[in-house]
Structure 1
Amino acid sequence: MPVELRHVRCFLSVARHLHFARAAEELGIAPPALTKQIQEAERLLGVRLFHRTKRSVALTAAGEAYHDEAVGALEHLARGAERAALAERGELGKIVIGYVASAVYSGVLQATVRGFRARYPLVEIGIEEIVMREAGALLMEGRIDIAYVRPPVPYPEGVEARTVHRDAFIVALPADSPLAASSVITPAQLCDQSFVVPEQESGTLEVARRGRFTARVVAQPGTLADVLAHVSLGGDVAVVPRSLAQCVTVPGVEYREIAGKAVPSEVAMVYRRFERAAAVKAYLAFAGS
């Protein structure tokens, strides 16, 4: 039988008091029971831990050596118990967040992560840019815990979404385009344009619907940075979130509002419906507060 925690506690109490009666009182056991525990520990360790006489108790050399390790072991166990309690409350752990660039441009990702880190400083948060259509699969595979995307996005069973930011779509066009002379662009004015489409194509499709034309898509490069790069080269336009215009300036690109009722855009936080990780659940609760 190995030395157990009860043996260590008894040893440390006697070492602290160098008196069996006082140590027994501290532990809430009878002195004979404490003596038995120490004798059992010495037998299991194969060493003598104390010099004992009728008048004194002192640590042996072996006892001195064992003492420092025993103190460290108990402190380590105490830290382990504390960390377990923190993890149970969601105050310790790791969260991996996937995001599309427009979630960064909107500021919603930064505001939530900064606030959560201030409240839960022991939770490690990793972030990585993802392809929006892969968000659901990444969640279900456990490669990320939360995703920030722009709906509509198809989700697998077991994934839920919550809107965390509302925005509207506008038009990005070349600075030398004749349309740049207008302060507001009607959907019908875009009927003869060629479109560069970001990951979220719903804005483009809605503008085309309102203008009663079929959008001529010449490129769908993926990220909003790629989309703006295409627009800056001239000849093409793009329908992008308004938040992009508020924080990204690209030479050769102008932004214009779309006339009429706003073409809505949103950022949604996507997560597993039956989440088990306490830290992730704490983040979801914080983001929804």
Structure 2
Amino acid sequence: MELRHLRYFVTLAEELHFARAAERLGIAPPTLTVQIQEIERSLDARLFARTKRSVALTPAGSIFLEEARAVLARFAQAESAGRRAGRGEIGRIEIGYVGSAAYASVLQARIRQYRASWPGVEINAHERPMADLPASVADGAIDIGFVRLPLALPAGVSRHVLLRDEFCIALPAEHRLSGESGPIRAAQLANESFIPPEQAAGTQEVARRGRFAPRIMEAPGNLVAVLAQVSLGVGVSILPSAVASVVRMPNLVFRPLAGEPILSEVAAIYRMRDPSPTVRTFVRQLLQTAPLKMAFQPIGETAL
């Protein structure tokens, strides 16, 4: 028995008239008669009681009608879901992000924008170690990654820059340089202990400019842990200025760095030939977004 047989049966059950049912179906009445007979033989049951003047459902036909309608409804749902999935209207997207991307607000803005356009798509977003994100995108463990550049990317993975900000320095409030009125020069940090965030490019550039080998402490983990270590007086940290614009923590201050800004970029990374329509739609929205620029402006302080 095929799906068309169920449609023939349900139509006849609704019309209880072979000629009218056949007209609705776009087939000849004799063809409909043959199809109904095939269904009855397949089920070994009489579904209709026929006379020259009337057609009526048998008890078996009434039971079969309820089930046939349920099957057709479920098929219609599956068909609709398939079409919607093909258009990217439903599905799921897995996102991984580095912590500083969340502080920069671009992560939230892009997810909020996508959800407004495609509310039927489920989005799962989790913080992950940045070093793991490129491989996770490449092998399909996640669909989109939000990272800090520079970062080496595997073949088949591309990127789109969403934000450009600059590195600054986080200091404990009692630090000798925390009261400086102007930007901190790289050479002034030669004897400091540096607590490394996941993106070490800022620390490396400060050391290069100051012509010293940085004393790097053990990495404490995520960005909150880095800031906590600084606030406890363990050392200083070179961080993106986006963090300074939103974070407030006891005994923690942010100061700008002197000289040409050391730029940091938040980018989305994605597979260039992703098979998922939902992911392709997300990427298309990302590519339509021009990079934002953010200047150093600590929370509660005036920009310098």
The bucket for the TM-score relative to the shorter chain is over 0.9
Aligned 1:240-279 pairs, distance under 5 A: 240-279=239-278
In the TM superposition, structure 1's runs of 4+ consecutive aligned residues that sit over 6 Å from their partners are none
Rounded to whole Å, the distance in 2 between the matches of 1:233 and 1:9 is: 73
| Number of matched pairs | 287
Aligned 1:182-197 pairs, distance under 5 A: 182-183=180-181, 184-197=183-196
**What's the CA shift string for 1:109-129, capped at 9, x where partnerless?**
111111111111111111111
**DSSP 3-state at the match of 1:260:** coil
TM-score by length of 1: 0.96
8 Å CA contact 1:97–1:126 kept in 2: the answer is: yes
Rounded to whole Å, the distance in 1 between the matches of 2:252 and 2:87 is: 48
Q: Give 1:19's aligned amino acid.
A: H
The gaps in structure 1 that reach 5 residues or longer are: none
TM-score by length of 2: 0.92
Q: Give 1:52's aligned amino acid.
A: R
Rounded to whole Å, the distance in 2 between the matches of 1:151 and 1:192 is: 27
8 Å CA contact 1:177–1:235 kept in 2: the answer is: no
Q: Which has the higher helix share?
A: 1
8 Å CA contact 2:166–2:263 kept in 1: the answer is: yes
Q: Give 1:78's aligned amino acid.
A: A
Q: Give 1:54's aligned amino acid.
A: K
Q: Give 1:252's aligned amino acid.
A: N
Rounded to whole Å, the distance in 2 between the matches of 1:160 and 1:19 is: 62
**DSSP 3-state at the match of 2:164:** strand
Rounded to whole Å, the distance in 2 between the matches of 1:44 and 1:287 is: 54
Rounded to whole Å, the distance in 2 between the matches of 1:140 and 1:170 is: 32
Q: Give 1:282's aligned amino acid.
A: T
**What's the CA shift string for 1:28-53, capped at 9, x where partnerless?**
11100000000001111111111111
Q: Kindly tell me: are residues 280 and 198 of structure 1, through their superposed partners in 2, closer, same or farther at Cα, counting changes over 3 Å?
A: same
8 Å CA contact 1:195–1:219 kept in 2: the answer is: no
Residue matched to 2:235: 236
State the Cα distance separating 1:235 from its structure 2 match: 4.5
State the Cα distance separating 1:220 from its structure 2 match: 2.1
**What's the CA shift string for 1:72-107, capped at 9, x where partnerless?**
111111111111111111111111000011110000
Aligned-residue Cα RMSD (Å) equals: 1.1
**What's the CA shift string for 1:140-182, capped at 9, x where partnerless?**
2321111111011122222111111111111000100110111
Please, which of 155, 158, 165 is the counterpart of residue 156 of structure 2? 158
Q: Which has the higher strand share?
A: 1
